[in-house]
């Protein structure tokens, strides 16, 4: 509780001093709930499909079973303040595949439910944007329209990145469903290094100015703007 209060006071001080722009704090305010909705969609789907024991891995959480201090709070803030993009994670969900109806096929459905929830939020954002929009999509918008614009863009980022076939992202579950048995030994050796490799690529891109993230930002931002224009 004290840590949360301290973070809130620090954020308030940065906003008051003008060191955080309206776009940045709005992006953070829509990103964290979006992560939690993504998480809740997968958890609910797992339970609906038969795994009554499905739940978050509390051992990776600091503030509660559904919040990871690093992935849900700190990393999203650093990415947004660094202008890198909109991403984060919540504690992984424990799913007993043997309890699910249709087994591994149902596990793929659970993995897809998070990105599908993101698409649903994008649709809500598009409707909300058109109800509150200014003359053109962009960052010189009325605050409600900007919030909806960022809600859609944030969930576009989350949906696209979560489907990358890199463990522990949702895309790795889909990859594993169709992976031939002969490839499993090598895959299991590489699996723990998925997320560190992805974060390392982000740092390498920033340090060497490779432009990979910049191109991704341009691509997703242009696509989202053209979709709601």
Q: What is the pLDDT of residues 159-212, one digit of tens each?
A: 999 999 998 899 999 999 889 989 988 998 999 898 888 888 888 888 888 888
- For residue 39, tell me if it sits in a domain: yes
* Separate counts of helices (H) and strands (E) for the chain: 9, 2
152 by DSSP, 3-state: which?
helix
- For residue 13, tell me if it sits in a domain: no
Phi, psi for residue 185 in degrees, rounded to 5: -55, -45
- For residue 191, tell me if it sits in a domain: yes
- For residue 219, tell me if it sits in a domain: yes
Domain range for 200:
22-228
Beta-bridge mates of residue 94? 55
Number of folded domains in the chain? 1
pLDDT of residue 69: 83
- For residue 6, tell me if it sits in a domain: no
Q: Tell the burial category of 219 from Cβ atoms under 10 Å away from its Cβ (0-12, 13-18, 19+).
A: exposed
Report pLDDT digits (tens) over 56-69: 765 554 456 778 88
Q: Between 113 and 199, whose confidence is greater?
A: 113
Report pLDDT digits (tens) over 11-56: 666 666 667 788 898 999 999 999 999 999 999 999 999 888 877 7
Cα three-residue angle 133-144-223, rounded to 5 degrees:
55
- For residue 72, tell me if it sits in a domain: yes
- For residue 187, tell me if it sits in a domain: yes
The helix or strand, by DSSP H or E, that contains position 177, with its residue range, turns out to be helix 170-178
- For residue 144, tell me if it sits in a domain: yes
Its pTM stands at 0.84
């Amino acid at each position: 509780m004290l840590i949360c209060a301290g973070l809130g006071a620090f954020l308030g001080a940065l906003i008051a001093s003008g060191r955080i722009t309206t776009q940045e704090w709005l992006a953070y305010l829509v990103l964290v709930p979006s992560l939690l909705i993504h998480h809740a969609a997968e958890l609910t789907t797992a339970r609906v499909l038969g795994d009554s024991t499905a739940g978050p891995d509390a051992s990776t959480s600091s503030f509660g079973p559904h919040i990871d201090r690093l992935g849900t709070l700190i990393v999203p803030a650093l990415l947004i303040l660094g202008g890198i993009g909109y991403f984060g994670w919540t504690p992984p969900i424990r799913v007993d595949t043997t309890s699910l109806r249709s087994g591994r096929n149902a596990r793929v459905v659970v993995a897809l439910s998070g990105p599908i929830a993101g698409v649903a939020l994008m649709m809500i954002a598009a409707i909300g944007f058109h109800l509150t929009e200014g003359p053109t999509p962009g960052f010189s918008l009325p605050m409600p329209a900007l919030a909806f614009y960022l809600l859609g863009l944030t969930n576009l980022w989350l949906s696209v990145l979560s489907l990358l076939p890199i463990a522990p992202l949702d895309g790795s579950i889909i990859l594993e469903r169709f992976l031939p048995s002969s490839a499993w030994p090598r895959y299991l050796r590489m699996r723990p290094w998925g997320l560190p490799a992805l974060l390392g690529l982000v740092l390498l891109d920033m340090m060497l100015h490779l432009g990979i993230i910049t191109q991704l930002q341009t691509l997703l931002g242009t696509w989202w703007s053209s979709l709601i224009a």
